[in-house]
Homo-oligomer: A and B are copies of this chain.
């Protein structure tokens, strides 16, 4: 292939852009600065002081030039149209990765950066099928792109054995395809963002109710491809629970999966493509369960004397099935820095002990009944009510925490999150092990570690653990974090956790997948991959070990 692209590289963008900053979370207009409280915390806990760093601007970033030849670009443009393909740096850079701390550190580096060799934005399933056919034939790798919110390296522009890699942006699959109001089922285009999907459903009186922290930018197809789980999972389930059907375009053909609300017609093939992370096909439409917009919402926050007591209370609520929509518990450290109430982070401790949040939704009568039943269980298990306010404060800031991470990175702090899940009986051991591993690994790099944790997804048999880690950057921050991440991942696997509860696998968790599913499990995934993507062009280097 020639290194002379057909379309000239350019700092400006030709395509509609993902709305997020290329080197930070979210809308640049919502970027935050550190409060004096947080600065004080950094100075006293982590010995971080001084002025913020200034990362390279978009104009200063140097990208590896596109490796696609003019012939290939012409063939691609013939499929999607000239206006839906670009090799400009301004289009490639925002699709060069996701939003993990390693992603942001790479985007802020001064060296030459990897990026997809072109961005294509197909508008129909037929165009997707033709793109996959062409790329299989011409041996070009393809990374499907939704909202760009991956925090596990799911969007790394890896070429694998191929000479070039495309970013395939699904944004034009943005329709509410159909809504069955009787059955409570909607068919949503994979490229719809969370807010746009909810907006279209709300016009008809319905709601999906999937609110992960990535909600504002992530897409329906991304939720499905990564087994996303939202903050209302206690009430509405994980995204995979919501899915009734999928349309998937693969190099070997189209899959239209899911007949009936439940079936015994053999293995559930939807469950192969949920969590397939662009490795097995391109999801174009998702049929989901929806519910009427709730008439009433009730809030109540609680405090527990310690995490174990609080966890036992959450367990009792979930196992008895008393029905809150939101149910979460911060540990002592997270409560101490007010992490669950973003506006107050670093301010004097607002709630003592461990903060728990409950929210209830539905009809007036049902919400009242659920609230009363849950309240009785929480009280019986040592909880003290704090009233509505802290729960509303949590909800108000529920999508804001990632902005704070950007400001922390600017100030020389290291900040990242990771998550797992295990059985109720094993929760304490897993939490202790991961906290210890992170503390020890960061300690070895010369940094104190502030490790905070919460439970945000509860199941009858267990719960998730979500860790937020803050340290001081020492030397090569990327290498420093990778060392800590390796220790945490090993601790998770050694203590009966899953390597990821809702962030997915991508490139970053792939080293643990052999342990997660076993060698034969990996062989099964490779066999499926061989059947649907014989040339192996789809998202190489991700998910499958």
Q: Using CB atoms and an 8 Å cutoff, list the residues of chain A in contact with chain B.
A: 180, 182-185, 226-229, 238, 240, 244, 250, 252-257, 259-277, 280, 289, 291, 315, 319-323, 362-363, 365-366, 369, 373, 376, 420-426, 457, 459-464, 496-505, 509, 513, 516-521, 523-528, 530-532, 543-544
Contacts and interface: CB of A to CB of B under 8 A. Distances in A.
**3 nearest A-B pairs in the assembled complex, by CB-CB distance:** A261-B462, A271-B271, A260-B498
Given A184-B319, A319-B291, A261 B524 contact: no
23 contacts: A182-B315, A184-B461, A238-B262, A255-B518, A255-B524, A260-B498, A261-B460, A261-B461, A262-B421, A263-B498, A265-B275, A265-B499, A266-B504, A268-B272, A269-B524, A272-B272, A291-B319, A320-B362, A520-B532, A524-B531, A526-B531, A527-B528, A527-B530
Contacts of A272: 267-268, 271-272, 524
A500 to B, nearest CB: 5
Given A262-B457, A264-B502, 20 more contacts: A183-B423, A183-B425, A250-B520, A253-B520, A259-B499, A261-B422, A262-B498, A263-B421, A263-B498, A265-B275, A265-B500, A265-B513, A265-B516, A266-B504, A266-B505, A266-B543, A267-B525, A269-B517, A271-B272, A272-B524
Contact of A267 (B185, B252, B276, B322): B276
Given A264-B275, A461-B261, A362 B321 contact: yes
B462 A264 contact: no
A526 B505 CA distance: 26
A421 B259 CA distance: 8
A116 B389 CA distance: 69
A261 B183 CA distance: 28
Contacts of A256: 518
A124 to B, nearest CB: 19
Contact of A264 (B228, B250, B460): B228
Given A264-B503, A264-B504, A422-B261, A366 B362 contact: no
- Residue of A271, A322, A517 with highest tally of chain B CB at under 10 A: A517
A264 B513 contact: no
A462 B183 contact: yes
B244 A461 contact: yes
Contact of A519 (B253, B265, B497, B526): B253
Given A261-B463, A266-B275, A424 B183 contact: yes
